[in-house]
Chain A
Amino acid sequence: MSAPAVHRFQSQPNAARRSERAAFWLFRAATYLVLACGLGVFGTIFFKGAGTVFKAEAPFINTTFFTDAPESLYIFEFEGKKYEMGDRAFRAFKEKHPAAAKVKSESYVYSAGGIFPCIVGTVLLVVGSMTIALVLGVCAAIYLNEYARDGLFIRFVRLAILNLAGVPSIVFGLFGFGMFVIYFGWNVSLLAGWFTLAFMVLPVVITASEESLKAVPKGFREGSLALGATKWQTIRKNVVPYALPGILTSSILGIARVAGETAPIMFTAAYVVRDKLPWEVEKAGEFLFQGVMALPYHIYVVSSKIPQNDYTERVQYGTAFVFLLVVALIAASSILLRNHLRSRYKW
């Protein structure tokens, strides 16, 4: 008698097991479908945008795209050759060849030149609003985590933070418009954009900061207090320094949100087009009260206000590529740093 090849307790394939496997594959498929969709969006924009941002010869990066302002693109035929030129180049060309003055040309706005003013504007908006949000948010988190005792007031504050996180960004835009732009009379300006964005991102910063403060062990505070330090000394010397890396890295996620939002700055800070760069103001005091161009708003403009064709595609995909890359890098560094920190600080 030969022994059975299979152990009697080993699992046997049966209908239940098969359906379980099928169900697991379904879940797996859902997960990978989500990933594939995300990858599809990234891939398309990277693939098509890379053509604008990179080029075949050294230095391999299309520097003019990063350093020039947007211009109109002119396409025309002259003496049997086809030319594509930006606004300024076209005017120079006409001066050089007087015969070209009357040449018929097709033109597309914003399709030539680069996106330098938009990059500058986005950087200014992000830096200003994150400074405001970090100051307010970290202080609020310190109060909530270090000073506050559970009570009606604190519950109220937490409820407000939770609700603030759910308010749609366009409502923040309306609010900023109603309060800063009209009531305070700041007009469409950097300052109005800063405060609108800062208030929008405040719940993210508070939550992130509180999480980092919570991660500092209680013993640190107790040790310091036992040595006779005051509460403020304890917080300043023994709590915040250890929480700061966590606060900053988690807040990077807030930066990604601030940089990526279009709706709040549409009526508070963004201009469709502006010739001057932000530092080309007559008086220093005007710096805060000027509107700027911003990358997300520029993407909205070039994708909705100009037709889709081979000529406009370059600037559309190029801008989207740069923007996505910036936001993705910020977000990725935040996620990686957070995971790194979580594993490092184990007190």
Chain B
Amino acid sequence: MSEPNSTAAPAAFAIQKRRLRLLGLTLDDTIKAFFGGNAVVAIVVLTLITIFLLREGLGFFAQNSQSLRVYRQAGLEYVDFIRAEVDDHTALTRYLSDLRLRQLTDLTEVKKLSLEDANAALTKFDEFADKFSGTVDPLRSMLSDLTEQATAIKTKFIVTGDKKEERRQLLAEGKTAEAAAVQIEETDFAAELKPLVATLPAFKEGNREFGRALLATLDGAPVMPAPELAARMEKLKQLTRDYVAGLPAVEHALETWDYARPIPAWKAVSSFVFGRQWLTASFWQDWYGVIPLFIGSLMVSIVALVLAVPLGVGAAIYINQIASLREQRIIKPCIEFISAIPSVVLGFFGIAVLGQALRALSQVSWLSWMPGFPYSERLNILTAGCLLALIAVPTIFTLAEDALNNVPRAFKEASFALGASRLQTIVKIIVPASLSGIISAVLLGLGRVVGETMVVLLCAGNRIAIPDFTAGLSVVTQPVHTMTGIIAQEMGEVVRGSIHYRALFVVGLVLFALSLLINYVAQGIVRKYRISIG
């Protein structure tokens, strides 16, 4: 491009115009700089997002490290070894009650006993079950004592921290006298923990007693009537034996436990990235593990994409290759129009209509072969996934259609000239040629789905737990919570600057990084596999 108003005009030129100069720039330069400044806004915004997410979020790791340290120093970790042992026993008891239920169904449905008779026939089983679950009682009472002790230490430490903060604030305000009046008792963890650790011999004895008692109850196990139930009983016996064999390991862990062992720095990060629990506002210990939320987001997105990819790509192929011109003209804007439905309206639709409709559908008897059907939770992965699919379809459709459109006409003509049918041309020529575009369309659809907030907040069920993958495909009928949902739900209620608040910003940071990654991969695919023959 040539600059007609170049300032370097020849000096001898007859008509010369003096130019207004501002800071050495001509008016045109100033205007150009102004527009350029606006273009930089995009970069600035992206930088600001990064800065502010980091600014609010980075403090999380220091606070988390501190929280983990207190968890160890106040002896909560010590008590949790015993808690894990007791919880494992509870799991065995649950297995036992499941066995009872199976036996009851066996008695009432196969043997046609009345409910009362069946219960009477199970008296012996109940005795056994009572004895089995009763063995843990001494341990449990010991555990609750220890829990109280540990909580007391932790509370003491927190109170001290609050007082320190109070003094700091008073000092900052210049009230030295008041500051000096604030009494601070430094928590001496070693001394505080002494009574807690002193219970170890008693616990060891109780633990051995517990192991013996548990094994002894197994001898009194009732004989199961059906072979299938007998096998289950055998399995329970085996599990119990394994469990008892594992008891000394707990004792060993307690013996070697040391409150003063430092927490490595990476623990603060790894307990977030690999943490399997997101537990807040608990009286015991808060955990900020992103895994349940991440898996929730992932599951919902997978369901959405499984539904949206065939529909979106199929519709794109139909519109681009098969449909008549008139159909094209009507359908294309209609599908684009779907993308204008606000997500909160879709979420409301899910709560008000779709959740109930899907549950009703799942309870239709001839559909019971479907995995997970029938189910009772109205709001779950499936409901949210279906709605998200509707959000992803227009994105995937529009971009995939563009990609198909970009395939050179000559490809198609050459294929026809070789005698291929239309279907063969589509499947073997057009789709492979535009595959990079289609894949990036799917990725960008994924980006939309992962970042979507309102639908998952309203329809995913909001239960913070890793779904039970042993259930196979029916895992999609369980409720989950998602990364976007948790931010939207908890951000309004947290105290500014608290560890919980910062944890939410770190989740936001993860989402931000994820969206950049998806974008980057999508662009990379398009660039790498672009059709070079024009």
Contact = CB atoms under 8 A, between A and B. Distances in A.
| Real binding pair | yes
Interface of A: 16-17, 19-20, 23-24, 26-28, 30-31, 33-35, 37-38, 41-42, 44-45, 135-136, 139-140, 142-144, 146-149, 156-157, 160-164, 166-175, 177-179, 182-183, 199, 202-203, 206, 225-226, 228, 230-232, 253, 256, 259-263, 266-267, 296-297, 299-300, 303-304, 308, 313, 316-317, 320, 323-324, 327-328, 330-332, 335-336, 339
A184 B323 CA distance: 54
A202 B42 contact: yes
A147 B452 CA distance: 36
Interface stretch (B24-32, B64-72, B363-371): B24-32
Contacts of B35: 139-140, 142-143, 146-147
14 contacts: A16-B421, A28-B322, A31-B314, A34-B312, A41-B346, A45-B349, A139-B34, A157-B39, A169-B451, A178-B55, A225-B4, A262-B343, A304-B458, A331-B340
Interface in B26-66: 27-28, 31-32, 34-36, 38-43, 45-46, 48-49, 52-53, 55-56
A218 B461 CA distance: 55
Given A38-B390, A179-B52, A171 B45 contact: no
A20 B505 contact: no
B342 A144 contact: no
A90 B5 CA distance: 75
Given A41-B341, A231-B28, A166 B390 contact: no
Contacts of B390: 34, 37-38, 41
Residue of A16, A146, A335 most packed against chain B (CB within 10 A): A335
Given A33-B311, A267-B491, A303-B347, A38 B341 contact: yes
Interface string B279-309: 0000000000000000000000000000000
A221 to B, nearest CB: 10
Contact of B488 (A38, A44, A263, A303): A263
B148 to A, nearest CB: 37
Interface in B485-534: 487-488, 491-492, 496, 504-505, 508, 511-512, 515-516, 518-520, 523
Interface of B: 1, 3-5, 27-28, 31-32, 34-36, 38-43, 45-46, 48-49, 52-53, 55-56, 310-312, 314-315, 317-319, 322-323, 331, 333-338, 340-349, 351-353, 390, 393, 397, 421-423, 444, 447, 450-454, 457-458, 484, 487-488, 491-492, 496, 504-505, 508, 511-512, 515-516, 518-520, 523
B100 to A, nearest CB: 37
A162 B331 contact: no
Nearest to A37: B390
Given A140-B39, A262-B454, A324-B341, A167 B315 contact: no
A41 B349 contact: yes
Contacts of A147: 32, 35-36
